[in-house]
């Protein structure tokens, strides 16, 4: 094969960059949740350790400098934080590792009750130990059923001022809660569930983040209506057909079309697709160069989320 015909190695930088606080990241990153096993938060078959390490190292080689993880991302035999530490430490200077606190799991994998704000320090320190760091780049408070996020943001801000945290983010919040949190401390990112089939309730938060130059980081963006399951057929009656037609026009995959659509939602939107496969990782990063036409974007936008 001639050099001209040889497929070009993709790079995450092709999607452009955004800032997380004072750190610049490429807009396609990597989510570490699926590194630990074939089922999310269960005792399914663990990933091959060597393969998981290869995925992480390949991600960095492909320009990924934003990795999303958490201490509660673990299965019976694998810990996402430990894998990241083993694969990438000492860490590249430009790598930003984003963790999250709030939810917790005991050593048997069972979810614990909601934590008090003063208990967040233990989770922050756990992430620091597992990752082998002295300071966490960004810590998201992952809201579950807490009626008021401001006390938790205040607790994280104390840890920020103590030097354990560089920046604070939020997850699972609406625009009103983001605004309330920003009165307590600077917020650099918001991580919410958002996809073609699950977006209607998130549009206001997406808009708010764009107006205030806060990174908006969708999760479950590729799996769509299937949420915690690996990417595959959608439960939406029109999504598979429309996405398939757009993908065929670009010789692309459905996952790549989904990622390109996500990135089109605004320069402040960051993608963090996760996978335990090097092949799928390369495919995801290659979505950085996919440019959808205005007509294709309009067709995808017309998919009605309420029908999923």
Mean pLDDT of all residues belonging to the chain:
90
What pLDDT does 2 receive? 35
What pLDDT does 165 receive? 98
What pLDDT does 236 receive? 61
Distances in Å between the Cα of 258 and the Cα atoms of 204, 219, 262, 265, 283 are 20, 12, 6, 11, 12
pLDDT in tens, 219-237: 988 876 454 444 444 556 6
- Hey, where are the domains in the chain? 16-223+266-277
Beta strands in 69-150 (DSSP E): 96-101, 136-142
Min mean pLDDT across 99-108, 112-121, 145-154, 225-234 is at 225-234
Of residues 6 and 190, more confidence is placed in 190
**Residue range 80-96: mean pLDDT, rounded:** 97
Q: In sequence order, what are the residues at sequence separation of 6 or more whose Cβ sits closer than 8 angstroms to the Cβ of residue 143? A: 102, 149, 152, 170, 171, 172, 173, 177
> Based on the number of CB atoms within 10 Å of its own CB, is 40 exposed (0-12), middle (13-18) or buried (19 or more)?
middle
List beta partners, residue 105: 111
Side by side, the strands of the sheet bearing 136-142 are 30-31, 66-68, 96-101, 136-142, 165-171, 189-193, 215-219
The CA distance from 30 to 27, in Å, is: 10
Q: In sequence order, what are the residues at sequence separation of 6 or more whose Cβ sits closer than 8 angstroms to the Cβ of residue 170? A: 140, 141, 143, 149, 153, 177, 178, 181, 187, 189, 190, 191
The pair of structure tokens assigned to 276 is 């335990």
The pair of structure tokens assigned to 56 is 């992480």
Q: Specify the CATH superfamily of domain 16-223+266-277.
A: NADP-dependent oxidoreductase domain (3.20.20.100)
What pLDDT does 6 receive? 41
What pLDDT does 228 receive? 44
73 is catalytic: yes
Residue 57 has pLDDT above 50, yes or no: yes
Of residues 121 and 233, more confidence is placed in 121
Distances in Å between the Cα of 202 and the Cα atoms of 31, 137, 176, 195 are 20, 25, 12, 9
pLDDT bin (cut points 50, 70, 90) of residue 43 is low
pLDDT in tens, 129-171: 999 999 999 999 998 888 899 999 999 999 999 999 999 999 9
List beta partners, residue 99: 139
pTM: 0.91
Share of the chain above pLDDT 90, in %: 73
Q: Among residues 73, 91, 152, 208, which one is catalytic?
A: 73
pLDDT bin (cut points 50, 70, 90) of residue 30 is very high
Q: In sequence order, what are the residues at sequence separation of 6 or more whose Cβ sits closer than 8 angstroms to the Cβ of residue 110? A: none
The CA distance from 262 to 113, in Å, is: 33
Query: Sign of the CA dihedral 220, 206, 253, 246?
Result: positive
What pLDDT does 3 receive? 40
Residue 49 has pLDDT above 50, yes or no: yes
pLDDT in tens, 296-308: 999 999 886 655 4
Distances in Å between the Cα of 166 and the Cα atoms of 46, 154, 159, 203 are 32, 14, 9, 28
């Amino acid at each position: 094969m001639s050099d001209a015909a040889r497929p070009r190695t993709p790079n995450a930088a092709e999607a452009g960059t955004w800032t997380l606080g004072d750190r610049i990241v490429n807009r396609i990153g990597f989510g570490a949740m699926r590194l630990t096993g074939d089922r999310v938060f269960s005792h399914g078959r663990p990933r091959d350790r060597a393969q998981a390490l290869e995925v992480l190292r390949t991600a960095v080689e492909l320009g990924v400098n934003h990795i999303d993880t958490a201490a509660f991302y673990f299965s019976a035999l694998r810990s996402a934080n430990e894998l990241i530490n083993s694969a990438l430490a000492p860490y590249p200077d430009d790598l930003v590792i984003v963790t999250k606190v709030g939810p917790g799991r005991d050593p048997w994998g069972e979810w614990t009750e909601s934590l008090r704000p003063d208990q967040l320090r233990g989770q922050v320190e756990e992430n620091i130990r597992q990752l082998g760091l002295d300071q966490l780049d960004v810590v998201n408070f992952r809201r579950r059923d807490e009626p008021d996020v401001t006390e938790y943001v205040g607790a994280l801000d104390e840890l920020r001022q103590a030097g354990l945290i560089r920046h604070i983010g939020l997850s699972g919040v609406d625009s009103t809660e983001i605004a309330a949190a920003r009165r307590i401390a600077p917020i650099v990112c918001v991580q919410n569930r958002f996809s073609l089939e699950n977006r209607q309730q998130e549009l206001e938060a997406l808009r708010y983040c764009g107006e205030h130059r806060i990174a908006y980081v969708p999760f479950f963006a590729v799996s769509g209506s299937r949420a915690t399951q690996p990417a595959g057929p959608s439960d939406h009656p029109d999504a598979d057909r429309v996405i398939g037609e757009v993908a065929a026009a670009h010789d692309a995959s459905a996952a790549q079309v989904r990622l390109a659509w996500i990135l089109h939602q605004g320069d402040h939107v960051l993608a963090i697709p996760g996978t335990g496969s090097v092949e799928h990782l390369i495919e995801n990063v290659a979505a950085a160069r996919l440019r959808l036409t205005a007509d294709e974007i309009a067709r995808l936008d017309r998919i009605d989320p309420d029908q999923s």
